[in-house]
Amino acid sequence: MNQLVLVLDFGGQYKELIARTVRGLSVCSEIHPGTIPLEEIRLKNPIGIILTGGPDSAYRPDSPKCDKELFNIGVPVLGICYGMQMMCHMLGGMVESGKEGEYGCVQVTPNSKSELFKKIEAPFAGLMSHRDAVTCLPPGFAETASTDVCAAACENTEKKLYCVQFHPESNHTEKGSDILRNFLFNICGAVGDYKLEDYIDIQIQQIRQTAGHAKVLLGLSGGVDSSVCAALLSKAIPGQLVCIFVDHGLMRLNEGDEIESAFSKRDLRFIRVNAQKRFLSKLSGVTDPETKRKIVGSEFINVFTEEADKLGNITFFAQGTIYPDIVESGGGYGATIKSHHNVGGLPEVLGFSKIIEPLSNLFKDEVRVLGQKLGLTPELVNRQPFPGPGLAIRIVGEITREKLDLLRHADAIVRHEIGKLKSKPDQYFALLTDTLSVGVKGDERTYDPVIAVRAVETDDFMTCDYAAVPHEALKRISSRITNEIPGISRVVYDITSKPPATVEWE
């Protein structure tokens, strides 16, 4: 059995990023609610515990808190942001709302020889996101790092308790992964015995235990997530997987045929449902992005229910939900940024006894690696990410068949031209805006929609920077789109990072 680090969640959106970073350092991690009973923690026998951030104030009587005895069991504990404030408050320190908060990257200066900052050059940039701060340390604690505004880190080495106000799990914190490495290996005594293959084995066992000999219905979109999900399920329960591809008419150019060709020959039952007219009818006249997402999600489930009824007694439903989908859809303490059609489970009335989501603890880069280990082709594993609602949320405003055809061709040009670059962004696509622009073609005035190009660089899709695509490539894209696609006479490039924007426009 692998050594285990527990990540206890107090409502922070970075909880999975913490767990992912820990796994990336070859240490097994599990996420549990911050209120997990101490008896369960002891049974899991972790080598370390990490307390996440969260949106609440530790000094509020109703704010989430762990069992106070957690700090006395002798297991190293690292509190991050709210985790630091909660630990200090519970152990006799003082946490107060500051006159000045810290948001973004702040200079952090270690001021002691803490094991946590071993071989970390000082000062370094640490990602902060707080107004509350620890103003008086608990007994037995010493300050180990500071900023101009607050105590940035503290520790009680005798009890193996460590705190940081910044977010070491974020790429924006310099040497953040090295700080976590120091906690895991120097303080917790990790040996680094976790591999992604272990995740495959664990999920296979869980899938078999859950499904037994029953058939499982999977929504196969052909994207990376659902494809890897299908590969994992087919390995776990060969002969029991039924894949339904709902062709909702919102796919990229020729994608439906490509998906059918790729999966119809695999060792699973593949069913293609032509529901294009049905989805377009439901979306007619709808312009609000959340409404579009919910319509697509609702119809997606309706189609599956109908197809499941035709297939007979299928009680399990599987989908390729990954963690960023769950975070952005909110739940718990998190804010809803945008809804995902594959998040939230299925209503009981649909007849499925359980939902299976074997990728829900993984980020996109981990899913790609998992797909390679499961034998999927590089072309499929490295496929550009595509949202569940498809082009419905890459067309700003009302959806029509004509707009879909315009966007399909523009997007194919974008993906072809950027795909030829030696250094490619992590995600790139075209979208059709609701802005009309005056142009001139053949000495005649035009008034056509504007195509926007989006390309981003990211490690986790929780944050991203716009990609500096070479101007020559952008010039080729603009020239091809305006020359090859009637009805488009202007192309713009989106140079906004996330935050404040999201990757998608809707």
State the residue for tokens 């960023």: 324
Any residues with CB less than 8 A from the CB of 345 and at least 6 apart, and which? 355
**213 has catalytic annotation:** no
- Distance CA(324)–CA(203), nearest Å, equals 19
- Distance CA(289)–CA(487), nearest Å, equals 24
- Distance CA(70)–CA(63), nearest Å, equals 17
**167 has catalytic annotation:** yes
- Return the structure tokens found at 459: 């490690």
The one catalytic residue in 28, 66, 81, 163 is: 81
Q: Residue 236: count other Cβ atoms within 10 Å of its Cβ.
A: 23
- Distance CA(425)–CA(446), nearest Å, equals 32
Half-sphere exposure of 267 (CA within 13 A, CB side): 11
The one catalytic residue in 89, 167, 248, 341 is: 167
DSSP letter (8 states) at residue 384: P
- Distance CA(284)–CA(54), nearest Å, equals 40
Q: Residue 14: count other Cβ atoms within 10 Å of its Cβ.
A: 25
State the residue for tokens 């981003």: 456
CA distances from 471 to 275, 276, 417, 493, 497 (A): 40, 37, 12, 10, 18
**163 has catalytic annotation:** no
The one catalytic residue in 16, 102, 155, 169 is: 169
Nearest to 372 by CA among 222, 231, 199, 219: 231
The H-or-E segment that residue 30 falls in is strand 28-33
Characterise 68 by phi-psi region: left (phi > 0), alpha (psi -120 to 50), beta (else).
alpha
- Return the structure tokens found at 21: 């970073």
- Return the structure tokens found at 226: 């659902």
Write out the catalytic residue numbers.
81, 167, 169
